[in-house]
Structure 1
Amino acid sequence: MKSLFIFIKPLTLLILGLLGIYLLNPFNYGYLFGYILAVIIISKSSFLVENLDMDLIMILLFSTTYALFYSFDFESQGKQFIAIYAITPPTFYLLGKYLVKDRPNIQALFYLLFGIAVMFSMTAAVSVFLNFMQGGFVQIERTIGLFWDNRPVSATTMGSFFTLTMCTPALLILGGGKKDVFFKIAALFVFTISLICCIRLGSRTQLGVFLITTILAILYVVPRQSIKKNITLIILLGLIGYYISTKVSFNLNADWLTTFSDRMGKQGSDISSGGGRTERWVKSLEYLFKYPLGWDYNEFGHAHNFWLDVLRVTGIVPFFILLISTVKSINQIRLAIKVNKQAIALNGQILVYGFAFFMVFMVEPVMDGIFMTFVVFCVYQGIINKYKSNFLEENSSANLSYTKNNI
């Protein structure tokens, strides 16, 4: 935990505090703190010049074109979203870069990403867990009020806040915080609460995130650690699997599966197609040529896909910009993982968080549904891009110094 002292600087603490309040979104006024963060970041002119890159340009192009097209039909959410869509993504990408400009070590980066994940989930976790304490799992209603103001939030939106905390078992498998008992206890607590909340919400997406990122972490870490550690991991996973299979009932009549059972009954024929999503994706691709400038929501509702819903709302220009930005983001994740092969836990965390984000983006409407998830992704992208460039600069300086000393 001593590695976190690098963040104890007045401005950095202020930015972390404002980011925390933005993520908590008290009484739905979090966006105001987003504006304050935007002013702080934009006022750092020298920092802006140093950190201008193609990823920032692509995010800026996407957010401004999306906001421009959205401004023609803003009644659905409100005028304030024109500015929110235009300013927030690029600003928070730069914010991510600012947080790691002082070159924190690998452990500090790991804890920073985990801390952001926890703060992102906190409002949803408290809200859903309070509901769970009142009625347990035997509740069918999936829309739950936020504890701030009891404003009802759909299960899809509420579940999105757990996207990163549902990756916590993967972090433990990867060896994050190896010698830090406090982190392990905190991580297990965070995951337990997140799992209870996602079961209460009946979120198949988030349970999928948990299972797939756990498998991904195993596949990533096994070739990179000793045989002894692999044997220990296999035994531990085997014991956990045995306990769950013998002690937990997976009968749809079990109390803890009430929400899932109700969903299965209502959507029986749609389960194999992801709740009808694949039909919407096919139709959206057809509409790409039929309505290149977008189409009305009443045609068939959300496309339930980040890219296709952008196409639906604002047409082909933001859609293709977003596609290019996505390809660049995936490449940056790949490069960040490769830059320091010794940092197994951090590399695995970057991998599973990136995978989790894209899993959710594939099946949910993001800009007009779970926009804050995209904002957190921009912070994540800024952090890993700056980490990568910092590491390459340090290696380049070290190599240059070594060469000079040996001439």
Structure 2
Amino acid sequence: MAAERKSYVLLALFVLLICTESVLVHGAAGGNGNNNGNGNNGNNNGNGNEGNDNGNGNNGNDNGNGNHGNSNGNGNNGNGNGNGNGGNGNGNGNNGNGNGNNTGNGNGNNGNGNGNGNGKGKGGDDPETTNYDELSPLASGQERSFCKGKGGSCHFKTLVCPSECPGKKPKKNKKNKGCFVDCKKCETTCKWRKPNCDGYGSLCYDPRFVGGDGVMFYFHGAKGGNFAIVSDDNLQINAHFIGTRPQGRTRDYTWVQALAVMFDSHTLVISANRVSKWDDNSDALSIRWDGETIEIPADGDAEWRTNSEGRKIVVERTDDTNNVRVTVSGLLAMDIKVRPIGKEENRVHNYQLPENDAFAHLETQFKFTNLSDLVEGVLGKTYRPDYVSPVKRGVPMPMMGGEDKYQTPSLFSTLCKSCRFQRPSGVASI
């Protein structure tokens, strides 16, 4: 009898093992779980799986579509593979046309049209957002925009600014928000037209960054130094640092005093003038276009604009003084504010600033369009699809290194150890 009971127990354990293996291999009834759909042959394999590494190694068309999780749809052969996946690393290594579109990443694809339209988190700026025509405003003064982007729910729709912010360029910016039109989301919202120092792509304080990945970090730089903030195939942004080093301190306190935006054959420079005593009614902002100072009127449209090499460049006031928005079509938009170091701020941080210098500096927030996957720079690299921040989380001042990789000889130089941008032949530095 004992031997018979032992046989029953062994049989039960054997059946349980087979059932467990079946669950692990096949997953739940809906195909959920990890590593589902690998190695399948034929069309439409591995669709609708949830979890990691689904749909890998399929052969044929339309494999691995609709997966959720990381690394879905890798290694597919054929057209249209890996589309519509959710998560990072989707659609990588596909062969053929149209692979990896509209996913978080799309690197390593072979063929035409791979990886197009990808963005890095909330830091990217889709051109379709502002693809609209201005229409005549309503009788109430609310401005209207006609969205032109093909596809999507907002195609050929008219968006109207809210009554709380009827215009895109309010005259009294300190008191009134501006209307922001987003034809990608098909909505209009009211926002302050000034840098958000806690938002994606911001550069403020001494200096503190918030990257394209949303991670905050500090960058020391050096007093009098120049550093590549962004360096990509068609764009370079350098920053000039001012600073001071109180007695007994081993590092400089630094702030960004000027930015040089270089693209095509042009250079746009935005800088804060040195002032001994700050006056809110005085304009300490200076702007130069290819070496020539430009003046922005305080009335009317309160803007300066030009067209060059197929791009529209607009610099507009967003307040009576010391605030502007810079837009370069196809590349970026920047909200910039000039501010000083106040007496209380100087006391709290023990900067020990001299009496004859207010240390006026820039606070900036960037929005980029069409950055490459290999973008470099102190801020630029945080927009890479595969970027993982090395800064230590949870500390009061997480520090980012890289001074040696991104230091440039001057504000207008595109040379550094990791810089990518190259001026067109025959274009000299200012």
Please say whether Structure 1 and Structure 2 have the same fold, judged by a TM-score greater than 0.5.
no
Which one scores higher on RCO, CA 8 angstroms, separation ≥ 6?
1
TM-score (norm 2): 0.24
Tell me which protein shows more strand as a share of its residues. 2
Tell me which protein shows more helix as a share of its residues. 1
